[in-house]
Chains A and B, each alone.
Chain A
Amino acid sequence: MAKIKGAVVVDSEECKGCNLCVVACPTQTLSLNRNVNGKGYNFSYMENPDSCIGCSNCSLVCPDSCITVYRVKTA
């Protein structure tokens, strides 16, 4: 069965840590980092990279367009 794997790359300097992507993620992949970026925000990152399915829900709700989503089909 083909399995879909995804990956999310967050531009951590652009991210304002609004948490909307974390709420929108259906697989609890994303989470806010304990570290802060240059602006002082807890940026979003992939806490559980294995669970990402590349649905791009996070990028749809991101107000700052700082999320890039990748998806591959593995056999």
Chain B
Amino acid sequence: MAEITEALKNIIKPENIVSQKSSVLTNQTMHYCPGCSHGVIHKIIAEVINEMEIQEDTIGVAPVGCSVFAYNYIDIDWQEAAHGRAPALGTAINRLNPDKFVFTYQGDGDLAAIGTAETLHAVNRGENMVMVFVNNGIYGMTGGQMAPTTMQGQVTATTPYGRNIDLHGYPLKITEMLAQLPGACYVTRQSVETPAAVRKTKKAIRKAFENTKKKQGTSFVEVVSTCNSGWKMSPEASNNWMRDNMFPFYPIGDIKDGEKVNANDLPNVGK
């Protein structure tokens, strides 16, 4: 081992660093399970904030769910919202501080279930903020119950025989739904299971924050992720399961890329 250490000593020098922990992340150890996608998404957001040099001007809205402690891990200003109400709180922050970068960080139980009304109307109003939506198909924090985004046939704590569409309804593609709204400028679906996917997601989140700078409307980034504890699989197996089962239903890619609808293009009966 000694001679290896000697050879490595020449490489391990501060000037040779190509990748290290982002300075926007705090030193606190994340409470997430081993292999959780939340950690990667936190890291991407921290790196984007660092690259754009907006650490002092960014306000995040933390949700309820596993990522409720996001405010402990990214070293920016945060607000904690009631369950599902992050877009409503983000609206208020954005209107009181129009020059700040506002983003919400929500899971599928928060954004697509209890907070559907807030989400839809915030996007419909074209609030100038970024919404990061982490879709892992179940309620991770409370023990892996069925969420609106759970796949057909997926076994969860509350659907032990698999989700049955006749009984439980259809999986909700909320990202496609939000892309129809005139207030959305950028709607995309990404994932973080491979290094290439991480790079693409980083590009998407960077673009979303750039849109906020240009005041173009709501940017919505869905990240299809895993919950290996809730799915009862290893991190590697859950990545493969996601690739095989979720990607055909939740296809990766941009759904809308443009700007919000101009008010002059719509009929105005007051004129």
User: How many cross-chain pairs have Cβ atoms below 8 Å apart between A and B?
Assistant: 93
Interface residues of A in 12-47 (CB under 8 A from B): 14, 16-20, 23-24, 41
Closest-CB distance, A44 to chain B (whole angstroms): 11
Which stretch of B35-43, B101-109, B175-183 is in the interface?
Answer: B35-43
Contact among A57, A63, A67 for B37, CB-based, below 8 A: A63
A6 CA / B18 CA spacing, docked (Å): 9
A62 CA / B47 CA spacing, docked (Å): 14
- How many B residues touch A, CB cutoff 8 Å? 37
Which residues of chain A have C-beta atoms less than 8 A from B33's C-beta? 16
Q: Is there contact, CB below 8 Å, between A72 and B198?
A: no
Q: Is there contact, CB below 8 Å, between B35 and A19?
A: yes
Interface residues of B in 154-199 (CB under 8 A from A): 192-195, 198-199
Instruction: Decide yes or no whether B51 CB sits under 8 A from chain A.
Output: no
Instruction: Decide yes or no whether B20 CB sits under 8 A from chain A.
Output: yes
* A39 (CB) vs chain B CBs: closest residue: B29
Which residues of chain B have C-beta atoms less than 8 A from A70's C-beta? 11-13, 16-18
Which residues of chain A have C-beta atoms less than 8 A from B40's C-beta? 60-63
Q: Is there contact, CB below 8 Å, between A56 and B18?
A: yes
Which residues of chain B have C-beta atoms less than 8 A from A54's C-beta? 18
Which residues of chain B have C-beta atoms less than 8 A from A19's C-beta? 35, 234-236
Q: Is there contact, CB below 8 Å, between A59 and B35?
A: no
Instruction: Decide yes or no whether B269 CB sits under 8 A from chain A.
Output: no
Q: Is there contact, CB below 8 Å, between A20 and B13?
A: no
Instruction: Decide yes or no whether B25 CB sits under 8 A from chain A.
Output: yes
Instruction: Decide yes or no whether B52 CB sits under 8 A from chain A.
Output: no
Instruction: Decide yes or no whether B22 CB sits under 8 A from chain A.
Output: yes
* B1 (CB) vs chain A CBs: closest residue: A49
Interface residues of B in 106-147 (CB under 8 A from A): none
A19 CA / B40 CA spacing, docked (Å): 14
B1-17 near A? 1/0 per residue, CB < 8 Å = 00010011011110011
Q: Is there contact, CB below 8 Å, between A71 and B16?
A: yes
A5 CA / B17 CA spacing, docked (Å): 12
A51 CA / B35 CA spacing, docked (Å): 24
A67 CA / B12 CA spacing, docked (Å): 13
Contact among B7, B10, B20, B43 for A69, CB-based, below 8 A: B20
